[in-house]
Amino acid sequence: MNKKTVADINVAGKRVLMRVDFNVPIHDGVVTDDTRITAALPTINHVLDQGASVVLTSHCGRPKGERNMAYTLEPAVGVLSEKLGREVKFASDCVGDDVKRAAESLQSGEVLLLENLRFHPEEEGKGVEPEAQDSFARQLSELGDVYVNDAFGTAHRAHASMAGVTKYFDDCVAGKLLEKEINYLVGALENPERPFVAIMGGAKVSDKIQVIKSLLPKVDKLIIGGGMAYVFYRVQGLAIGDSLCKDEDVPLATELLELAGEKLVLPLDNIIADDFSGDANTDVVKAGEIPDGWEGLDIGPDSAKQFAEIIAEAKTVVWNGPMGCFDLHEKFAGGTNAVGQALADSDCVSIIGGGDSVAALNQAGLGSQITHMSTGGGASLELLGGEQLPGLLALSDK
């Protein structure tokens, strides 16, 4: 990576403004999954160990530019304090005179977490003038001497706290998590050990079209599962019953079938149900034999075996998107779990591209056996798709 990182600068005695990704699930005032908070600890501890103070900024959820306390970051304070082994202070806003005073009063080794950035429409820039977004970024910049971006999950957004703020700092560097994400994901694309296998799941081809197009020339096999598999069946004239299939995905799938050739691997069979619920009747049928009134909700056992055999021979695997509706009911989680188990059993470099795939692996207790699980679904997809990330481009070059 040709961008400066926290290893390239000395922050002793300085106040670090650090963009983290604390977009964590919070229910009834309790953080229910602290994975993203834990992922930020190496960078936070690194600058604290050097004698810096830290001002942390993040978004949480989608409050749409309004002060909606359902999305307050305050519940993260207790979790972070416990993990750091020191008290973390909290500011009830992210800009303003009170926040600036709180930041300026920090002593070496102290940490201040700011309230949700997205309580202000200027953060995302939706419906506001560019001058207003720039003013918001400038106010954020006044809270630190050095800027560190460790929020890979938002690096694909040109938001005020990600890109706009950088013009006001001499040093804008990547944190350890951001650096790790880039190195793994870019490394998978530029110099993968072979065989190189990509596994794409999820609902819609249109969501993954750019990634698939980017990966196709590079991979040895492309496995398609999840809801998007049914549109490929339809293009081939196979019966899909009432399975998910968006009309706008048909021409995309047609194009990909022609481009992929023998690299493309589709499910051999499917677990089907007579309605979309955990109480539905289920059956297993071969690909293309789904009757009307039934829909495919997972890959079948033959597919799971076939995919596992391909994974067992692979040296590098990139996976994004579940093989079925694992979150609807455990009866539709078998395919996703089988892929996860195959990766856990393999000695390949396994890279999971965020989102539902990470959730499924954690749910199955397999996360610790994966080489790298990305904290950013959208960012990882855009990077794998060959796109530039605004949050990364804005950082200082080495």
> Is residue 394 situated within a structural domain?
no
Domain's final residue, options 114, 143, 177: 177
> Is residue 186 situated within a structural domain?
no
Say if residue 173 is in the same domain as residue 197. no
Which residues lie closer than 8 Å to 373 by C-beta, 6 or more apart? 352, 354, 358, 361, 367
241 included as an active-site residue:
no
Say if residue 203 is in the same domain as residue 341. yes
Q: Which amino acid is at 151?
A: A
Q: Report how far residue 44's alpha carbon sits from residue 148's, in angstroms, rounded to the nearest whole number.
A: 10
Catalytic residue among 61, 65, 378, 385: 378
Domain's final residue, options 143, 177, 211: 177
> Is residue 134 situated within a structural domain?
yes
> Is residue 390 situated within a structural domain?
no
Domain's final residue, options 177, 211, 229: 177
Say if residue 199 is in the same domain as residue 263. yes
Q: Report how far residue 385's alpha carbon sits from residue 189's, in angstroms, rounded to the nearest whole number.
A: 10
Say if residue 253 is in the same domain as residue 136. no
> Is residue 185 situated within a structural domain?
no
Say if residue 147 is in the same domain as residue 283. no
Say if residue 156 is in the same domain as residue 204. no
Task: Provide the residue range defining the domain that includes 310.
Answer: 192-384
Chunk the chain into consecutive blocks of 10 residues (it has 398) and report each block's average pLDDT, rounded to whole numbers.
92 98 92 91 98 98 95 97 97 98 98 98 96 97 98 93 97 95 83 93 84 90 94 95 92 92 96 92 96 96 97 95 91 94 94 79 83 83 83 93
Which two tokens mark 68? 């909606």
pLDDT at 361: 82
Q: Report how far residue 162's alpha carbon sits from residue 19's, in angstroms, rounded to the nearest whole number.
A: 7
300 included as an active-site residue:
no
Say if residue 42 is in the same domain as residue 134. yes
Say if residue 331 is in the same domain as residue 199. yes
pLDDT at 380: 83
> Is residue 169 situated within a structural domain?
yes
Say if residue 205 is in the same domain as residue 150. no
36 included as an active-site residue:
yes
Start-to-end CA distance of the chain, whole Å, equals 9
Say if residue 136 is in the same domain as residue 212. no
Say if residue 262 is in the same domain as residue 355. yes
pLDDT at 151: 96
202 included as an active-site residue:
no
> Is residue 219 situated within a structural domain?
yes
**Helix (H), strand (E), coil (C) string for the chain:** CCECEHHHCCCCCCEEEEECCCCCCEECCEECCCHHHHHHHHHHHHHHHCCCEEEEECCCCCCCCCCCHHHCCCHHHHHHHHHHCCCEEECCCCCCHHHHHHHHCCCCCCEEECCCHHHCHHHHCCCCCHHHHHHHHHHHHCCCCEEEECCHHHCCCCCCCCCHHHHHCCCEEECHHHHHHHHHHHHHHHCCCCCEEEEECCCCHHHHHHHHHHHCCCCCEEEECHHHHHHHHHHCCCEECCCCCCHHHHHHHHHHHHHHHHHEECCCEEEEECCCCCCCCEEEEECCEECCCCEEEEECHHHHHHHHHHHHHCCEEEEECCCCCCCCCHHHCHHHHHHHHHHHHCCCEEEECCCHHHHHHHHCCCHHHCCEECCCHHHHHHHHCCCCCHHHHCCCEC
Which residues lie closer than 8 Å to 175 by C-beta, 6 or more apart? 5, 6, 18, 20, 40, 42, 43, 148, 149, 150
- CATH label of the domain that carries residue 307: 3.40.50.1260
Residue 390: asked if its preceding bond is cis (omega within 30°), the reply is: no
Say if residue 103 is in the same domain as residue 13. yes
pLDDT at 354: 66
> Is residue 319 situated within a structural domain?
yes
Domain count, the chain: 2
Catalytic residue among 36, 118, 157, 208: 36
The predicted model scores a pTM of 0.85
Catalytic residue among 204, 208, 221, 234: 204
Catalytic residue among 355, 376, 377, 391: 355
